[in-house]
Amino acid sequence: MSSGIFHRGPALAGPQASGDTLESLHQQAHACERCDLYRNATQVVFGEGPMDAPVVMVGEQPGDKEDVAGRPFVGPAGHKLDVCLAEAGIDRSRCYLTNAVKHFKFEERAKRRLHAKPNSGEIQRCAYWLAAELRLIQPRLVVAMGATALTSLLGRNVRVTRDRGKLFATPSGFPVLVTVHPSFLLRLPDPEEARREQSRFVEDLKKALPFFPAP
């Protein structure tokens, strides 16, 4: 993959969070009241993975299972991601997994907590934490999975459907690979289409392979 195809995106929003370890950043995030989502969520769900991870994968926000467990990508979308990472030949434990928004946003219906999409203000406020994670980790590649991650990292000029598989760069210079969110695969009713889309997602993920140093 050539670095000559990098496109520029807008700066990650927000003043700089301090902290020199992911652990200290995570501790600070527990007290986050930058938007209202902390009011109803069980807890903040911070990123997880090695501080020297060459690749950071960014999703949208924690789901119901993640909100309870306090860990990212442990529910159905996380299981789908695990399957696809394995198919792509990527070891999840070598990646840092995080979300654009760190609190679960939901609507309560018939005692069920249904995922609600974060709005642009929530995405922008939470970009403070994502920027801090990236500053500490200094990854070789960031994988933006879905529109919310993309908006947080690159603003609104980049589109998942039009730009998937391409490399962009944040103004701070982090390369960003665009792809779909794994939950998209879970929502496809037609099994044939779901298989086809899963293969496309795996092909996108394989583009991250050159960014891992040889073990």
User: Which residues contribute to the site for ligand URA (CB under 6 A)?
Assistant: 59-63, 66, 72-73, 75, 77-78, 99, 183
Q: How far is the CB of 66 from ligand URA (least distance, A)?
A: 4
**Position closest to ligand URA via CB:** 59
Counting Cα atoms < 13 Å in the Cβ hemisphere of 64 gives 10
Q: Please say which residue, 132 or 149, places its beta carbon nearer to ligand URA.
A: 149
Residues 6+ apart with CB under 8 A from 206: 88, 89
Under DSSP, the state recorded for 177 is E
Q: Which secondary-structure segment (H or E) carries 79? A: helix 76-88
Residue 98 beta carbon to ligand URA: minimum distance, rounded to whole angstroms: 8
**Min separation Cβ 89 and ligand URA, Å:** 22
Closer of 50 and 210 to ligand URA (Cβ): 50
Alpha-carbon gap, residue 47 to 54, rounded angstroms: 14
């003043």: which residue's tokens? 15
Phi (first) and psi of residue 192, to 5 degrees:
-65, -45
Amino acid at 159: R
Q: Which is nearer to ligand URA, 78 or 139 (CB)?
A: 78
Q: Cβ closer to ligand URA: 5 or 119?
A: 119
Least distance in Å: CB of 38 to ligand URA?
16
